[in-house]
Structure formats: structure tokens, C-alpha cells
Amino acid sequence: MRLTDTLFYWLQTKLMLELRPEDTAAQDSLRFFAQILSEDHELTNFEVASRDATQIHVVYTARSEGPKTVWFDREAAEQLARDLYGSADPSDDEGEDDLSEVNE
């Protein structure tokens, strides 16, 4: 699986988990994509760095390299959560936009 594809799937799953933290399938999927990023792509860190109206920026670091940033179209990244849960914005439920990151 290509690095950018894996980062995108990880991001989609992370966004779903922000909406439904109790969703064990989403938790398992997040761990699965994090494992691929760590083992196959040798990333030591990956996290959501920022969000704006149109993009979500993910910063990642591979072993022996400096950090790099990739951005994803926000609408595309949120589509899976929207399809499954009706909303992709965690602030709809909680009134806040939490950018804190925990790599599983």
C-alpha cells in the first residue's frame, strides 16, 4: 500500500474515531493502519497538524528523516464518517475542534 494511501486511510479512520470513540471496529482499524505506517513505511510519528475549511494537514516522520507534511482534501477525508455517522465534524457533537493526537 502506498504511503499517501495509508496516511489517508489512517486519517479517515481517525476522524471516525473522533466522532465515535467507543467504536471498537474503528479502534482496530486505526491500530491496523498505524501498524502499517510504522512497520511497512517506517514512520516514527504521524499526526494531524492542522485543519482548515478545505484541507487537513498531516505531519509524519520516517526513520532517519526530518518531518514532512502532506495535505488531504477535507471533504474527501471526512466522507466516510459522513456516510457512516451522518456528520464528519466532531464539533457538531462536542462544540469543539480537538486537534490533539495519539498514535495507536
Q: Is residue 103 part of a domain?
A: no
Between CA 37 and CA 10 the distance in angstroms is 9
Torsions phi, psi of 59, nearest 5? Answer: -105, 135
pTM of the model: 0.81
Q: Is residue 19 part of a domain?
A: yes
Report the pLDDT value the prediction gives residue 59, as an integer from 0 to 100: 98
Q: Is residue 98 part of a domain?
A: no
Report the pLDDT value the prediction gives residue 84, as an integer from 0 to 100: 86
Structural domain of 88: 3-92
Q: Is residue 51 part of a domain?
A: yes
Count: domains in the chain: 1
Report the pLDDT value the prediction gives residue 85, as an integer from 0 to 100: 81
Please name which of 36, 40, 18 lies closest in space to residue 101, comparing C-alpha atoms. 18
From the first residue on, what is the mean pLDDT of each consecutive set of 10 residues in the chain (104 residues)? Answer: 97 94 95 98 97 97 95 95 75 42 41
Report the pLDDT value the prediction gives residue 28, as an integer from 0 to 100: 97
